Structure 1
Amino acid sequence: MSASDGPIPLLAAKYPDAIGAWVAEMSYDVARPIHEAVARELQAETLGYNDPVSLELARESLVRWMKSSYDWSVQPDSIGFVSDIVTGFGAVLNNFLPPRSHVVVPTPAYAPLLDVPAMFGHTVVRVPSLVDGPRQRMDIEGIQRALEDGARLVVLCNPHNPTGRVFTVEELTELADLVERFSARVFSDEIHAPLTLTTVPHTPYAKVSAASAAHTITATSASKGWNIAGLKCAQLIFSAPQDAARWKHTAGFFVRSVSRLGVSALRAAYDHPESQLWLDTVRARLARNNALVAETVAARLPEVIHFPAEATYLAWLDCRELGLEEPAAFFREHVGLAMTEGTEFSAPGHLRLNFALPEDLLAKALSALVRGAEILRAGRHHERGSTQHA
């Protein structure tokens, strides 16, 4: 088993002169069983199309994983394959909504969830989340108003990117009751589910009730948990039988974009005991890094509000008190730390920091974050001094 540090070309490629803490990808080696599964495909030169047997075995792997991890019983014939979550979202928007629907997206939100609906003729209704102490929660009343105005789909991201929330059963039930009352639908992006970091467990939204199962399409993948997003193999789970039947009319189009290597990696991730040990090791490591971010912000960044992640490897930072229009650009240009701008998530003045870094590199990233704030403080102090002197 290995969860050691590996090369980080993608994290460094966009901003080669900065510490890469921007894209949602871990900078850790892939689990050995996954590496070996991909190597076997290469050695056998099976780099062609997927075959029905491999896909069915992958379905069975996913069924076992959902049952053992979340006590969620998923039927193999309810599982469809897509290349990635964004493609799956587009498929749902195109095939399961009336034309020109309104789509409710609680914000902050992963940028494609905000942008993709317009590509299919739909309108996004942004509902800002509410700050509740050290975490954010959905604005149920705001979502209700959008549904009252005719919205047909609510987008749920759980665990949440970028805030790291793991929504409780009570929160999910409240949403399910509301959506059911308005005969609407839910697209539930649960790609970060394997990466819970606290005692709060992940609960699949479709498992909450018979009503939620009937109105939900769930998107999932091994890509985030095992750091294999580039292998292009995600799944849609149609917990309503009529949705599964409808998907069969379009499934062939989407499965063509699914990588055979990704299917092999999925099975190695979900089925191999060593891959489970790798995941446990990574989660423990991420929990320590998450705590280090919290400690650093609390001790040295009084202007910044940090929302400690309950899952994922993403730190969500409210930096509005720093007074910067583009905080990500400032930290990248002045201290060489590349993070993601909050405007991408419909949250200006915020930053998303990826803490799935080697410990020494994370320490450097946090030192750079502190140094950037110190530069701003010194600048403001100099401006005040100049004003008083004048």
Structure 2
Amino acid sequence: MSLPVISPVGMDLPAATTRSLLATKYPGAIGAWVAEMALGVSEPIQEALLREARNGTLGYNDPTSIQLGRESVSRRMHDCYGLDVAPEAVGFVSDVVSGFAAVLRHYLSAGEAVVVPTPAYTPFLTVPKQFGHPVVEVPGTYGPAGHRMDLEGIDRALADGARLVVLCNPHNPTGRSFTPEELAALARIVGSHRARVFSDEIHAPLALTSRRHVPYACVSKLAADHTITATSASKAWNTAGLKCAQLIFTSSSDAARWNTVADFYVRSVSRLGVAALVAAYEEQAASEWLAKTLFRLRSNNTMVADAVAGNMPGVEYQPAESTYLAWLDCTRLGVDAPAALFRQHAAVAMCEGAEFAGPGYVRLNFALPEPVLEQALTAMSRVVREVMRQ
């Protein structure tokens, strides 16, 4: 394909952007692939980390630190989402993927299949196989309102013997915020088969519409009894490298089982991560930082939607309802690897949809400084128009 190669070399990028994983994996390209923000870190979190360093407390976590973290998570779940969970029912893991692996290891019997609605965050498709659990992919549907789970397909997979459904709520990569009605319907299906749900809710604070996030475990007692919820402050407050995520147990028997193995997993949790978690959830200035960041993300989401609608013929985008991830339908471009096309000819690095079991799509991280995002969209638009002319 005879397209020009565009390079952003020489752009005045913020220092944090040029040093981040977003930028360094693909030198010379605008990084819009991995799910971390190029929008900085709040002052309360910075101060919490500096305070630990000044106090010389860079060693292992201690029971007091972990208990403060548990209490902070418990308060936030209640205050923000109406989910009542005791601090003792909050478990610590290094990250959501490690928590997912722990659930596979301790809550499923050998060889039991895992249902993964697709498109899906890549580790949900690959990690079960590493633990001997077959993956049953259930492709979702697309319509005027965007992505939807195929509930009938999930029902069939559970009827065939699968024992765990992976729910990503809000959804990565499509940015959907599932409605209470959708979640309740899933709960009835899972409950009828006496199966489980692993609910990844790491993007919960990143709502881009007026709709309030609804934890899956909140929709009914039935859902609470068969759910293990994974969460973290890492996406909303941009602290993924600090390794501090949580599993929330809304079944007393699941919580009791976790307590038999919890000491092993808490060893992998960073003390700095717990300090950042408490600052994010407890400090007013951290909440204000998140509110300002959400304002920018909503604006950026609109920028992506406008660019696609006005300047990218052959590309479609249903604006994200949550997260900072845009799931762009590039199937009409007629190329096998659209992300590779954009990386080579627009110098914009994104994820291939095929990595999420969604070939023909790309996932664009729009948590970028506005001028950087504008340059990325302009370069992508030039490539799309050229492709559609050929």
Indicate the TM-score class for this superposition, using the shorter chain for normalisation.
Answer: over 0.9
The residue type paired with residue 336 of structure 1 is A
Q: Distance in 1 between matches of 2:378 and 2:366?
A: 13
Shift in Å, 1:377: 2.6
Q: Distance in 1 between matches of 2:278 and 2:30?
A: 33
Tell me, which stretches of 5 or more residues in structure 2 are unaligned? Answer: 1-12
Tell me, which stretches of 5 or more residues in structure 1 are unaligned? Answer: 381-390
Q: Secondary structure at the match of 1:46?
A: coil
The answer as to 2:258 corresponding to 1:247 is yes
Q: Distance in 2 between matches of 1:369 and 1:357?
A: 15
Q: How does 1:97-246 map to 2 (within 5 A)?
A: 97-246=108-257
Q: Secondary structure at the match of 1:317?
A: strand
Shift in Å, 1:145: 0.6
Shift in Å, 1:64: 1.1
The answer as to 2:47 corresponding to 1:18 is no
- Paired residue for 2:77? 66
CA contact (8 A) 2:314 2:388 kept: no
Provide the aligned length of Structure 1 versus Structure 2: 376
Among 256, 276, 279, which residue is 2:267 paired with? 256
- Paired residue for 1:53? 64
Shift in Å, 1:104: 0.4
- Paired residue for 1:328? 339
- Paired residue for 1:316? 327
Q: How does 1:4-43 map to 2 (within 5 A)?
A: 7-8=16-17, 9-43=20-54
- Paired residue for 2:370? 359
CA contact (8 A) 2:38 2:368 kept: yes
- Paired residue for 1:387? none
Shift in Å, 1:220: 0.3
- Paired residue for 1:75? 86
Q: Distance in 2 between matches of 1:252 and 1:59?
A: 14
Q: Distance in 1 between matches of 2:386 and 2:122?
A: 30
Q: Percent identity?
A: 59
- Paired residue for 2:277? 266
The residue type paired with residue 14 of structure 1 is K
Q: Distance in 2 between matches of 1:6 and 1:27?
A: 10
Q: Distance in 1 between matches of 2:88 and 2:100?
A: 19
Shift in Å, 1:302: 2.4
Q: Distance in 1 between matches of 2:46 and 2:146?
A: 37
Q: How does 1:270-309 map to 2 (within 5 A)?
A: 270-309=281-320
Superposed CA deviations along residues 211-232 of structure 1, whole A, max 9, x for unmatched, are 1010000000000010000000
Q: Distance in 2 between matches of 1:59 and 1:153?
A: 26
List, as ranges, runs of 4+ consecutive aligned residues in structure 1 with deviation greater than 6 Å. none
Q: Distance in 1 between matches of 2:387 and 2:376?
A: 17
Shift in Å, 1:199: 1.3
Q: Distance in 2 between matches of 1:77 and 1:303?
A: 51
CA contact (8 A) 1:6 1:28 kept: no
CA root-mean-square deviation:
1.0
Scaled by the length of structure 1, what TM-score is found? 0.95
Q: Distance in 1 between matches of 2:341 and 2:234?
A: 31
Superposed CA deviations along residues 238-269 of structure 1, whole A, max 9, x for unmatched, are 11000000001110110000000000000000
